Amino acid sequence: MTSASAPNIVLLMADQLTPFALPFHGRPLVRAPALSRLAAEGVVFDAAYCNFPICAPSRYSMLSGRMPHAIGAYDNASEFPAEIPTMAHYLRAAGYRAILAGKMHFVGPDQLHGYDERLTTDIYPADFLWVPDWSKGPRHRPTGVGMGHVVDAGPCVRNMQIDYDEEVAHVAVQKLYDLARAKAGPFFLTVSFTHPHPPFVARQDEWDAYEGVDVDDPAVPGIPFDALDPHSQWLHVAHGQDRHTVTREHVLRARRAYYAMVTYVDRKLGEVLDALDRTGLGRDAVVVFCSDHGEMLGERGMWYKQTFYEPSVRVPLVVRAPGVAPGRRAAVCSLVDLLPTFLDVAALGGTRVEPVDALAGRSLRPLLEDAAAGGPGEAVSEYSSEGVIAPSRMVRRGRWKYVFTRGLAPRLFDLDDDPHELVDLAGRPEVADVERALRARLLADWDPDAVDASIRASQRRRLFLRELGLRSGAFPPWTFEARPGDAQRFVRPATATGAVGAKPRMRFPFVEPTPPDRAAP
């Protein structure tokens, strides 16, 4: 990587985008020309992982460079403590201006976390609305996620997520022109879209683009409930799959909508990349694209995220940097590696900022410059949010993936021989050494009993405050609003309650949503 000064850094994010829905990861029927061009110009990481397969904790972990449990990021209603330094703080210390456009799902009174400015309101609540309650079992789902998103899949003219991402693209492009005029630098710009997060509702233009396309079935068919591992059984119940009839037509429509949503967010990302080109700012910038987690998209009969199967926990990761030849990297890595990478990039300007806490990741800069650097790599991911009743952890090292859930039998997969994770090797004598080493690594800095106790205590505290807020109608006014009235436009306690939630209510033309616990006709 070459630079005469600290290069600008642009972090582009999609939400719930699995790499398996991208043409440069083996899905050629999906149209994503902007991302395909970025992939052709940059380095594609073929084994990148999130550190928590749900939105808020994944983002907290990525921003801080630390594992979720270490910062109390247990679920989508966990507060992100203001005392935790983030990549925005560190880059500001290196002389960067830090700017955020779009979703980041900060919970708590600090709505900047090191960014100098936010250009948009967040689409999701900043309070304790979505606290899980493990005492109620896996069916308890505070976000209300269910199979209605699948059975109601289809096109629309407009919805909440389109409203949001149109604004994100607009303000990000405008900010790039403003920065170019001011000849400001260096800057760290984060642009974070909410597509292709469910509901599976696509803009009519993109939906029509897949007319006549032979949308593929899931590679792994649905697995009978009795044959599911216990963690997957929890999610089956949590998502209300036992209370819906999901047909093949539903599955194909949901996959078509998801692919169309990928095409839509690709258009928005393309607008930002075009602005970088037109201003000349992209020439010497480090541009990174990733997602916060993946999407099961009907694989194994499963939907959404919350699991360590590859479509859920894997993420796309592309890095385009000056002086770095395009290519692909097989080494395992994860989103906590971005912060140390950005510190290495900032040091090109002569300022080396040392982190005040030990970071969980490693810099990817050596790997960008030399595909053989760093060995096979490692990724660790955690899960403890809604839909389950115990904390889980996963470690991927080389070809092996080991999964541990408190109270359940461990699981071990050889991803080279078994990419769809259909053969559990845990307990077999021939891989005993591998299993022993991975178990030791997984438990070295994570005590499942202590983590479980901390999570349950945190839930009790936050549930008490949540119920008080619901009774009084007065939640903490933590949500950052870029303009008056945004609290009524996006997901908040006042808009998320009632017979029809905020997202389905804003689908135009309106489609009466299928109740989460009623069988589809």
Residue from 69, 89, 105, 244 carrying the catalytic annotation: 105
Residue 382 contacts residue 390 (beta carbons within 8 Å) = no
- Rounded to whole angstroms, the Cα distance separating 286 from 483 reads 31
CA of 150: how far to CAs of 154, 333, 346, 470, in Å?
9, 31, 43, 29
User: Which residues contact residue 83 at a Cβ distance below 8 angstroms, ignoring those fewer than 6 apart?
Assistant: none
Q: Quick one: which of 191, 215, 190, 192 has its CA closest to 202? A: 215
Distance of CA 282 to the CA centre of its chain: 25
Q: And the tokens for 514?
A: 């299928």
Instruction: Verify whether residue 105 is a known catalytic residue.
Output: yes
Do the strands 378-383 and 392-397 form a parallel or antiparallel pair, or are they unpaired?
A: antiparallel
Q: What size, in residues, is the chain? A: 521
DSSP bridge partners of 381? 394
Q: What does the DSSP 8-state code read for residue 158? A: B
Strands (E), 5-114: 9-14, 43-45, 48-49, 97-102
Residue 100 contacts residue 87 (beta carbons within 8 Å) = no
Backbone CA torsion sign across 418, 424, 426, 428: negative
Residue from 50, 55, 156, 290 carrying the catalytic annotation: 55
Q: What does the DSSP 8-state code read for residue 314? A: B
Q: And the tokens for 240?
A: 């209300």
Instruction: Verify whether residue 55 is a known catalytic residue.
Output: yes
Cβ neighbourhood burial of 463 (10 Å; 0-12, 13-18, 19+): middle
Hey, what amino acid is at 402?
Y
Calculate helix-pair angle for 55-64, 338-346, nearest 10 degrees.
Answer: 30
Q: And the tokens for 272?
A: 């930002």
- Rounded to whole angstroms, the Cα distance separating 123 from 492 reads 8
Q: And the tokens for 376?
A: 């096979």
CA of 184: how far to CAs of 38, 67, 96, 177, 297, in Å?
24, 33, 10, 11, 42
The CA-CA-CA angle for residues 6, 102, 172, to 5°, reads 55
Give the residue numbers marked as catalytic: 55, 105
